[in-house]
Chains A and B, each alone.
Chain A
Amino acid sequence: MSKIILGISAFYHDSAAAIVRNGKIVAAVQEERFSRKKHDPRFPHNAINYCLEEAFTEPDELDAIVFYDDSILTLDRVLKNCMTSGKQSLVQFEKACQSVLGIKMWLRDYVEQTVGSLGKLGKLLFTEHHMSHAASAFYPSPFEDAAIITLDGVGEWATTTIGVGRKNQIELFKEIDYPHSLGLLYSAFTYYCGFKVNSGEYKLMGLAPYGQPTYYDRILDNLIDIKEDGSYRLNTEYFGYLDSLTMTNEKFNQLFEGLPRQPESQITRREMDLAASIQKVLEELVLRMTCYVKKETGAKNLVMAGGVALNCVANGRILAEKIFDNIWVQPAAGDAGGSLGAALLVTHVYFNIPRQMNPNGRDTQKGSYLGCTYSSYEIRALLDRKNYPYRQITDAKQRAQTIAQAIAEGEIVGYFSGRMEFGPRALGARSILGDPRSVKTQSIMNLKVKFRESFRPFAPSVLVEDVDEFFEMQTESPYMLFVAPVKKERRLQMNMEEFHKGDDDMLAIINQPRSDIPAVTHLDYSARVQTVSYNDKPDYYNIIKEFKKLTGYGVIVNTSFNVRGEPIVCSPQDAYQCFMRTNIDLLVLEDCFLWKEEQPEFKDSEDWRGIYDLD
């Protein structure tokens, strides 16, 4: 009998909803895309409404509604943490009371008020946070059996779990509990280097190749003890998160001889070296853990989720070491993906619906194109109503050729096509595209399009059949979750002498060509690869194919369609606004083409730079 399940994650960061029918993922989306507030933690009523619409389901037709974690156990942790930390934890207790007691405990009320029904069961179901992560990694993967690793900041108590998935069942047999957390350790360095916790971790990873791991030993000697099996414990004396509202404390400052970097101040060699050091610690720990999991389970396949699984450099190391034959990482590995995992877990465990593998051997995540879409008719109605000049190109081949031509001529293209991506990465549905061959693309796209820090690298989208022509990678990476080195023969020697002597000017080295695809080659000759196959997204594949015909390169630059601090665009209106606020040259809204020079003057009713909090 058909079962339709709604999964919800909320009240921490990246609220989301997902809907699953008989184990098939119908829709999944983050609330931030609708509310336009990055990492929106509020109850995801927009996301839920979209999921119900996409599934043509009324709330009272839902067989179950499930929340992705257990708030009672979270409260248990909060109380025990404060009882351990003593009187100085009052400030934290005050915040936690408001969050856990004032919000999370009232989940049923939120659901009843927003959804209007608790579904056929008449009550909510709950799962455990890391079970949700594990389910989001295992069930959509292409593997019947797999080892599982989940790593994040903290769930209820667990911060790390390991186990196995077999057919319908997930078994998590070991864990590491709060306050020991690899995610929180990495976030502590994110904070200390002047980036925002829960969003700046990606920047820290991108900064790491600029530095040397000079603090590596200091971290291992003082902050974390790692056993041979990859299990670990932190020395909590150095961290503020147990008894204050900051990640680090005075003792941490003393260890690294200075105060945390102020956000938006100049990044110095110290931050680069700290980033390199903590990245090295993280990679080595994850590698040890992966070897242990392999030994314990004997599995050929590995699946991963949890925020730390978005560290694509570490993922690339696991891949390169060939510890497992195959690896699959949930593209929405953070808390948003918990909504999907929870819904799948209820499907396969609560309702015992057999898991169905994709007959073509691929995963069942559908390319992670699980969000909303807009028809050409809807888009034309908007453009006509607003009198925005556009040209409709109905022929798919001509569309791909026109876009490829623009990219080859150095233009920046805003590309809006099909269902929006679920997870933090843009994969060709809400993307900004550029020419990877140009040495200027990285700084132009960073400073004039994205308005973000110049050091941040861009990712390549490469034809799946051409991946090993450009990168030292033999596998698919459809979700941009693995970093691989650019082929040696494509690399160009860089002049790093002045930089290594202590010159902190990153722009001087960013603008040096590093390969014949400099815009997607990071300082250490690595690239965060997205392989594109015709089956996953034919329109996007065809653009790259046409670009190859023009240039000989089956690879383009792909970055998310947004500016710094803004959620990725969701609607055509969002896309048009972003297009007009930035130096994007051409906007493609399905089959409608809008050139910047033809557009009327754009009058912003507000200073958009003040709308979005810097990430």
Chain B
Amino acid sequence: MEIWELGAKNIREQVLRKEISAQEVLDSFLARTAEVEPKIHAYIELIEPQARLDAARVDALIMRGEDPGPLAGLPVALKDNLNLKGVQCTCASRILEGYISPYDATAVKKLRKAGAVFTGKTNCDEFAMGSSTENSAFGVTRNPWDLQRVPGGSSGGSAAAVAAGMAPLSLGSDTGGSIRQPASFTGVCGLKPTYGRVSRYGLVAFGSSLDQIGPFGNSVWDCALALEAIAGEDPRDGTTSKRPVPRYTEGLKRPVKGLVAGVPREMMELVTDPGVRREFERALKIISDLGVTVVETSLPTTEYCLDVYYIIAPSEASSNLARFDGVRYGRRAKARDLDEMYYETRGQGFGIEVQRRIMLGTFALSAGYYDAYYLRAARIRTLVRRDFDKAFAAHDVLLSPTAPMVAFKIGERVDDPLAMYAADVLTVPVNLAGIPALSVPCGFSRPDESGPELPCGLQIMGKPYDEETVLALGYAFEEACSDWFVPKTAAMRKSLSSQEECEVVVRDTI
């Protein structure tokens, strides 16, 4: 078995036992990347020289007998909307092409301190706006399970990198499902922590009241390890919680027997793919067998969540993205005067989906419409939160499929915003409520008779700051499925090696 095929847990243990060096670990992942990246295009930029320095530093610490940190030598890929000092941070947008960040995001700083080795910046939808990673100025990322399909989005590059074995861990950001939905589409684990659990400092803001950074991993354990490293209060982000950070990896084996899980009926009504529904129901059976009481429950506002989300997130985004004006950094269009500079820089620099959301949000905040749109949405958000509070009064966790469908074909939805937005319908309620949720692979569906099987995800939603219960149930579930899921992933990765390289598709609407 190659090093890259081992999970984060095994790699870390072997590094700490000095059986392998951080540099050998990196070599293995870089070799794997060289092999499959031309087919996947998960990265916007690989940063091999810096990564080698990071790995050497970890090895030096181990040699000296110093503590290299809990992520000792683990390669981590970063979504390109996270600031890593000295490295380009483009958010997959032309407007930031060539922008070299002068500072580290708090999550990045914490990972480095924990001994992580950064491999590069991964592709995503421009400014994290999208559900397929097709809205990137730097080409489309492909789904390792079927190269004709999207990896989901917006953190599609981070998801695909882990799924294809290019990195054992990666970070993404989740504003309306951007970690969980691509995790579901690519058959990996992805966690959106509670709002306020992980500092947003250094994450390029999209919807500030919704954004959270979270990890992707091959297993729940890997996600728990990464969360442990990045969570906690940050004096630079006044919305982070003071609560102490539990040892998530140690809580994984907590008994799940006796937990009560609710399945919101309104969410189930939104599941369009019969295969997804079938696999979810099978997952419920497995969970019942673990001793969890599974009952139907209700979140009456579910049907409004997508609309509320598509008012609040674009409103905040319209303000957050106003700073990309070509004055202090990023690209500036040629212009004769100030106004022309603004219009041309922003007209040329942003892709169509980003412009669409800026327009939507600008409208929702504008004079005469604020009350009817933004304020009304903010009030309904309160109702959504109340629904969740009520549901959590009677249930320890809530369960649903992560996405109502499996990965769709590249180009299939990209020109129909409402069809694209529908991919988030089961994930946005979680962001509106600010609660934690994990997507863990739960089965396969074959939408095309002739095509390959595609993974689908189980979404486990928890009470605010109760990542421990979410992770514990995810861990128990994963254990129960590992004998059939793990071999399928291995087979996918193997077949990936034999596939043809794929050309980079850059969509012309960007």
Are A and B physically bound partners? Answer: no
